[in-house]
């Protein structure tokens, strides 16, 4: 209890850090896809896939989208794929709610950057786990998050509970996070924590940093509460099952 090891400091510029860990049995209860379903499990961090400048441009996409809504509590989400946007205590469909006005908010360049970044992250994950990136499919939910220290108003605002992505979502096989703001500069708290037996392993967010991991119980995790400032990130999730695949977002 209280034993913490920092896997990635916000002040470091990491080329590639990867830690292999034994796979849980979570994948056995789902259909296996040879050449994709994890046989090698672990977690990685890199600052060498997305530049800080690209992260700033992507954060501006998130800021513009989230400026249209936002949760009453401390955690807001924007999903460009489904159109889900936090609004008060509920969610609206951005594309239906704002219609043609959406073209005043986002540009084709925004969506092209989003696609390009997603592809690079996908290739990096495939390389780390020794699988073909063509066998991975983007899956839902894949979304921007904006977290501040406003008190939670609904269960959707309670982002800090420990969870396992494969158990929560089923379709997830590989999870990634692209951080869009800096720990200690833009916000306090809000570190990402892997909860291992005997110790916690933390990742301190840094704009442009990508952390990625297999989605089973081998990577039980949580996010610390944000104490001040605003933390932006995007969660990008992949499945091995083509039936659960989704396409890149398209500007209507």
Kindly list the catalytic residues.
231
Rounded Cα–Cα distance for residues 45 and 143 (Å): 19
Contact (Cβ atoms closer than 8 angstroms) between residue 70 and residue 230: no
Write out the two tokens for 182: 């800096």
Residue showing tokens 């909860």: 195
Rounded Cα–Cα distance for residues 152 and 74 (Å): 6
Q: Label the pairing between strands 174-179 and 210-214.
A: antiparallel
Nearest Cα residue to 235 out of 74, 84, 87:
84
Contact (Cβ atoms closer than 8 angstroms) between residue 57 and residue 113: yes
Enumerate residues 6+ apart whose C-beta is below 8 A from 15.
46, 47, 48
Rounded Cα–Cα distance for residues 81 and 70 (Å): 17
Residue showing tokens 């786990």: 129
Rounded Cα–Cα distance for residues 6 and 200 (Å): 8
């Amino acid at each position: 209890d209280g034993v913490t090891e920092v896997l990635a400091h916000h002040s470091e510029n990491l080329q590639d850090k990867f830690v292999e860990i034994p796979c849980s049995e979570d994948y056995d209860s789902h259909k296996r896809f040879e050449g994709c379903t994890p046989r090698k499990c672990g977690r990685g961090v890199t600052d060498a896939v997305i530049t800080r400048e690209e992260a700033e441009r992507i954060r501006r996409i998130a800021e513009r989208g989230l400026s249209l809504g936002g949760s009453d509590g401390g955690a807001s989400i924007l999903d460009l794929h489904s159109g889900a946007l936090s609004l008060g205590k509920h969610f609206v469909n951005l594309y239906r709610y704002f219609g043609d006005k959406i073209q005043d908010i986002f540009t084709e360049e925004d969506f092209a950057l989003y696609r390009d970044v997603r592809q690079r992250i996908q290739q990096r994950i495939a390389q780390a786990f020794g699988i073909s990136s063509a066998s991975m499919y983007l899956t839902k939910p894949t979304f921007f998050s904006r977290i501040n220290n406003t008190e939670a108003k609904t269960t959707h605002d309670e982002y800090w509970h420990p969870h396992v992505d494969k158990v929560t979502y089923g379709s997830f096989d590989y999870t990634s996070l692209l951080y869009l703001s800096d720990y200690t500069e833009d916000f306090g708290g809000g570190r990402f924590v892997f909860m291992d037996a005997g110790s916690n392993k933390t990742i301190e967010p840094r704009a442009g940093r990508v952390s990625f991991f297999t989605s089973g119980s081998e990577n039980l995790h949580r996010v610390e509460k944000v104490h001040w400032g605003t933390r932006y990130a995007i969660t990008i999730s992949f499945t091995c099952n083509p039936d659960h695949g989704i396409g890149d977002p398209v500007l209507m």
